[in-house]
Structure 1
Amino acid sequence: MKKIFIFVFISILLTAGILPANARDLVASMGQLPVLIEDKDKGPFVELVKAIDDVYTKGKIIREVYPFKRSLANVVDGKADFHIPLIKNPLVSEDTLPFRYSSIPTGPVAFVIYSHKDNPLTKQDISDAADSRDIPFPYQIDTLQGHADFFNFPVVENYDFESALKRVSIKRIDAIIMPQEECDSIIKKMKIKDIHRALYYEFDSMIILPKGIQGSETDLIITNALKQLKSEGQLEKINEKIHKPYIDWQPYKDNF
């Protein structure tokens, strides 16, 4: 009789909204990235997870950091509620992936074409060459490791931003297409003056969730949190530390 009473009492509280039906702690698996995610307490993406945690009042978010591939696998294997971050590939259907994307992005990631100022390349140049069936693709282009399938033309994956920029500077390759902030910081640090910049595409930076009901519930939590952070202006401030929209800047014209 006592158990029945407790069950009825809890049911009344749930119905009244006094106890949240979806109250639970979440495990955030964060992929280790230089500067952006250095450990579970340091980095702009960590700040974003902390901000989501502050907004999410029905539980707490447990932050964990892993090598990037393992962090992503944690979501697929059911060991984490979400992974952050991953750039959304517009050429790959979400239906073919073992995970799902969050409903809204955390912010933009500008991939920039870095070519030599003597032979500057634009997105139109590359698209025209890729669409031509008369000749083989004429450019040698490097991109960030793990992102070769983001492009419909031949690219070489390169994990080292500095060496990739040096190869462009000495005309060993025609261009690289890589994230803006990482490359720009190296250009300024090394004072590489012979680089031309042009926007290739602004991809969406996403949070990754498991497929199924639990993933949908977590997506709702994250979506509501991101909307609130955006309305309060916090999301923009955090994104200023992560990735900014494309900046129209030319190193060969700048005195740095």
Structure 2
Amino acid sequence: MITNRVFIKFICLLSVFFYCNSSIATDILRVSIPQMPVHAVSQNEGVLVDFVKVLAKKLDQNIEIQIVPFSRSIYYVVTNKVDFHLPFIKPNDDSLPKDNFIYSDETIFHVNFVLYTHKDRLVDISKLANYHIETDSAHLPFFGELKMGSSCILCSLKKVQHKMTDGYIFADSSTDPLLRENLALLAGVKRQLYKKFAVKMVFPNTKKGQELNKTLSAIINEMRLSGELEQLLFSVDFVYNDWQI
């Protein structure tokens, strides 16, 4: 185990060395992160904001952080306006077209996607196409049975509460904080686990994007082996908790 860790650390340092001697190392890197509770509240607050700052320190390079709506963040990466985006779930069947971006080799964390419905409505989770269920607009390609996109978590929860939709599917690490803060207004909303996904970074499908993926993935792997990654991301990487019971 020690030998493996030493080897991985060597590979990580070697990747950073080659990266720092490449042309892209002279540029300021740009990352876009969707504005979400806990993950990225502002340019200076959020678990993923802190994570990017750690990456910048390990790279010894400035990373410009942009906090924008989720769909815009994905647009920025596929149009090469930023150097990478996070977070983005990886579909289990690898069926999502990704000609315009590449996933990071390393997984950052895992996330619970939860189905939020009204307690008075029964929704068959195996037949979601039969219902009017929203998810974040940028995630619609992951769920062929869903057709309704949203860019506002709280708005979608309110629609569920007032039975304007049959449900809403999104990450519990982003949605639960808003549900807990607004329990008086959302008393009719109930939760159940939909699926658990691996969470990655994504890069433009360019030579620079491929190089940056290798470099950052090596750093992330080293952080995982040392325990630093778990310590940094524990507030968004956890086992599903049915806390409403």
- Asked whether the two chains share a fold, i.e. TM above 0.5, the reply is yes
Are 2:52 and 1:52 equivalent residues in the alignment?
no
Q: Which runs of 4+ in 1 moved over 6 A?
A: none
Write out aligned runs for 1:120-199 (5 A).
120-121=122-123, 125-127=124-126, 129=127, 137-191=129-183, 192-199=186-193
Q: Look up the SS of the partner of 2:17 in the other structure.
A: coil
Structure 1 residue 243 displacement after superposition: 4.8
Q: Look up the SS of the partner of 2:19 in the other structure.
A: coil
Percent identity of the aligned residues? 26
Tell me the TM-score normalised to structure 1 length.
0.73
Structure 1 residue 71 displacement after superposition: 4.4
Q: Look up the SS of the partner of 2:45 in the other structure.
A: coil
Q: Look up the SS of the partner of 2:223 in the other structure.
A: helix
Task: Measure, in 2, the Cα distance between the counterparts of 1:168 and 1:242.
Answer: 24
Task: Provide the residue aligned with 2:10 in structure 1.
Answer: none
Task: Provide the residue aligned with 2:238 in structure 1.
Answer: 244
Deviation readout 1:219-247 (Å, 9 max, x if unpaired): 12111111121122221222223353422
Task: Flag the structure with larger Rg.
Answer: 1
Structure 1 stretches lacking a partner, 5+ long: 1-16, 131-136
Task: Measure, in 2, the Cα distance between the counterparts of 1:230 and 1:210.
Answer: 24
Write out aligned runs for 1:211-230 (5 A).
211-230=205-224
Tell me the TM-score normalised to structure 2 length.
0.76
Larger relative contact order (Cα-Cα within 8 Å, sequence gap ≥ 6): 2
Preserved CA contact (<8 Å) 2:109 2:199: yes
Structure 1 residue 153 displacement after superposition: 1.4
Write out aligned runs for 1:71-90 (5 A).
71-90=73-92
Structure 1 residue 74 displacement after superposition: 4.5
Structure 2 stretches lacking a partner, 5+ long: 1-13
Q: 1:34 aligns with which of 33, 36, 41?
A: 36
Q: Look up the SS of the partner of 2:205 in the other structure.
A: coil
Preserved CA contact (<8 Å) 1:75 1:210: yes
Preserved CA contact (<8 Å) 1:106 1:205: yes
Structure 1 residue 73 displacement after superposition: 4.5
Q: 1:237 to 1:147 in 2, by over 3 A?
A: same
Aligned AA (2:19)? N
The total of aligned residue pairs comes to 222
Preserved CA contact (<8 Å) 1:142 1:177: yes
